[in-house]
Structure 1
Amino acid sequence: MAYHRHAVCVVIAAKNAEATIRRAIESALREECVAEIVVVDDGSSDATATISGDADDGSGRVQVIELDRNRGPSFARNQAIARSKAPLVAILDADDFFLAGRFKTMLDGDDWDLVADNIVFIDERSTNPAAPDVPVFEAAPRFLDLAGFIEGNISRRGASRGEIGFLKPVIRREFLVRHGLRYDESLRLGEDYDLYVRCLAKGARYKIVHGCGYGAVVRADSLSGKHRTEDLKQLYEADLAILASQRLPANAQAALRRHAEHLRGRYELRRFLDRKADIGLFGAGLKALANPGIMPAVAGGIAADKFEALRRRFGWQAEQPLPRYLLPASTIAQK
């Protein structure tokens, strides 16, 4: 089945995004299969809501929901999904955009519940970040299973931002409704990862095509790059909750435990550094010694951070230049 018109709801959670929200909305409006765009202004203190309403092209497809206080991306997205009706849901971050024609072939077929395409990461300082010169890649469709998805979200030191969890799949609304799934509103970090894990645990077919249709703008002040120590703890606890509540295949259980331990290590390191800032190195060290189980995570994390700082200082490993792509892909030979 190919979707052409009135099929997609684009959900944009936005906070203080007046500089980028128009570009995001306009990129969605130019796609003919987009039936509605729901922008949730998540307690902004700028003109995000006004600019969003003004960006409508006269088709009436843009709806703006204003929250009186910041509730986080999970709450905002749940509000948008609940207010919309189109059969497919596409998430778009407020500082990103769709490449023209994103949905034309991406949505073909009935063999998926979630389908994602490649992402191009673009420097915000580019002359025209919204018009990248993107090659035509072979689609090379493949499916992600639960274990593979989880493993693809375990960060590696020195690796560029680009875990599988950053993909922006289109999701069938019917699947979410049938299984009673929505974003976990307690999470302000990893909320997409958590939802996709729970979808896959319910048997979702997650299809990936390698053609590129999503532009992610890399900004030094991006909200996605900032999180609290408590956010790490809540995401770790979300992993534990899935392990406790779902019957998962053995390989998925093992992968989820590794992911949970990875998060726990990051949390314990951050908590140690918070304590160091509050009560000094000696006091933080004493508290860490009182719980020997956290020492490997703390010591290992500090050592890895020191090495990363040296690596960057001396250029031992060059950063991948922008633009770059999340998924490795082969270009189609042009005739």
Structure 2
Amino acid sequence: MTAAVSPNICIIIAAKNAADTIARAIASALAEPETAEVIVIDDGSTDDTAAVARAADDGTDRLNVTRFEVNRGPSAARNHAISISQSPLLAVLDADDFFFPGRLRQLLSHDGWDLIADNIAFIDAAQVASAGGKLEQFAPSPRLIDLVGFIEGNISRRGARRGEIGFLKPIIRRAFLDQHGLRYDETLRLGEDYNLYARALARDARYKIIKSCGYAAVVRGSSLSGSHRTIDLKRLYEADRAMIAEAPLGDDAEASLRRHERHVRDRYELRHFLDLKNQGGFRSAIGYAMKHPAALPAIVGGILADKAERFRQPRSPAPVALGGTGEIRYLLRE
């Protein structure tokens, strides 16, 4: 006889203008026997996201839909969900995405963690219906990742396979977050997951990763995760600086964090230069560059690298357009 499952996970879905996909996300979360709660935060949508979410209720009294009248960002939405949830384990599901059946059982079969994440399959929106039958089976191969490995895994390198493990969607023990006073940084609308996990690792969290795949990330040209504002880059590198200033991290971890900060700051300087050029013309952009000579290497290097990138084949398994080929890409391959 199979032992009864004790539901103990809260699935958090922050959603904005997700009426077309939210029902699928909710259904996949409610289908997992380990799910105790699904909390949907409609973050100031202008469509019928909240109504569609409520209509996805399966009658088990596990769905809670809350609406923000004004958009407050994913960090604020997730923090609110945490504050009203009751479960000892927390997991994030993006409103575009869904779980493959059995995902939570597979993750909970492993022990010795404060956060645990599995592989992500990136699937073209047109191929969702057939994705389950094409899913590649990977051996779990569990491993713990430390702060240095995590930060280095979130630094993109041009011309190399991109493996930004900040995209991973772990189950998190609430007790660890509460013990260390950790929540999402509500100033961030980009990299908020990366920042939370990095701060947890800086406090000696055990972060386990398995290669088995249970999370489907649906790739659409209009996906909000594929766009960000220039100011969001600035806030992200400032958050890295705040981490460095908070407490001693050890030489290796601090060096990695400074590399990540520089990597994001370089992206910001290039984007800011291009914004000034688009808004005020080339003279305005050059004026900024001359007044900020420290930004020149990032600006010049970024422009040259972007031009060279046009001649390269994309090699990233991260969320980029898949072209409707039916191909499934995985975040963790090696």
For Structure 1 versus Structure 2, the TM-score category normalised by the shorter chain is over 0.9
1:302-317 alignment runs, 5 A limit: 302-311=303-312, 316=313
Shift of 1:317: 5.6
Q: Any conservation in 1 of the 2:160–2:315 contact (CA below 8 Å)?
A: no
Q: Which residue of 1 aligns with 2:14?
A: 13
Shift of 1:162: 4.2
Q: Which residue of 2 aligns with 1:82?
A: 83
**Count of residue pairs the alignment pairs up:** 324
The C-alpha deviation readout for 1:2-28, integer Å capped at 9, x for no partner, is 993221000000000000000000000
1:10-159 alignment runs, 5 A limit: 10-126=11-127, 128=129, 131-159=132-160
State percent identity of aligned pairs.
57
Q: Which residue of 1 aligns with 2:219?
A: 218
* Amino acid aligned to 2:331: L
1:184-333 alignment runs, 5 A limit: 184-311=185-312, 316=313, 322-328=327-333
Shift of 1:108: 2.5
Q: Any conservation in 2 of the 1:113–1:204 contact (CA below 8 Å)?
A: yes
SS in structure 2 at match of 1:207 = strand
Unaligned runs of 5+ in 2: none
Shift of 1:141: 0.5
Shift of 1:132: 4.8
Q: Distance in 2 between matches of 1:132 and 1:77?
A: 32
The C-alpha deviation readout for 1:219-259, integer Å capped at 9, x for no partner, is 11110111111000000000000000021021110000000
Q: Distance in 1 between matches of 2:314 and 2:111?
A: 43
Q: Distance in 2 between matches of 1:75 and 1:132?
A: 36
TM value normalised by structure 2: 0.93
Shift of 1:173: 0.5
CA distance 1:229–1:318, shift in 2 (3 Å): closer
Q: Distance in 2 between matches of 1:69 and 1:130?
A: 35
Q: Distance in 1 between matches of 2:248 and 2:290?
A: 36
CA distance 1:132–1:91, shift in 2 (3 Å): farther
Q: Distance in 2 between matches of 1:318 and 1:73?
A: 28
Shift of 1:318: 6.5
Q: Distance in 2 between matches of 1:66 and 1:283?
A: 42
Shift of 1:106: 1.1
Q: Distance in 2 between matches of 1:283 and 1:179?
A: 45
Which stretch of the first structure deviates more once superposed, 318-327 or 74-83?
A: 318-327
Q: Any conservation in 2 of the 1:38–1:62 contact (CA below 8 Å)?
A: yes
TM value normalised by structure 1: 0.93
The C-alpha deviation readout for 1:26-60, integer Å capped at 9, x for no partner, is 00011001000000000001111011111111101
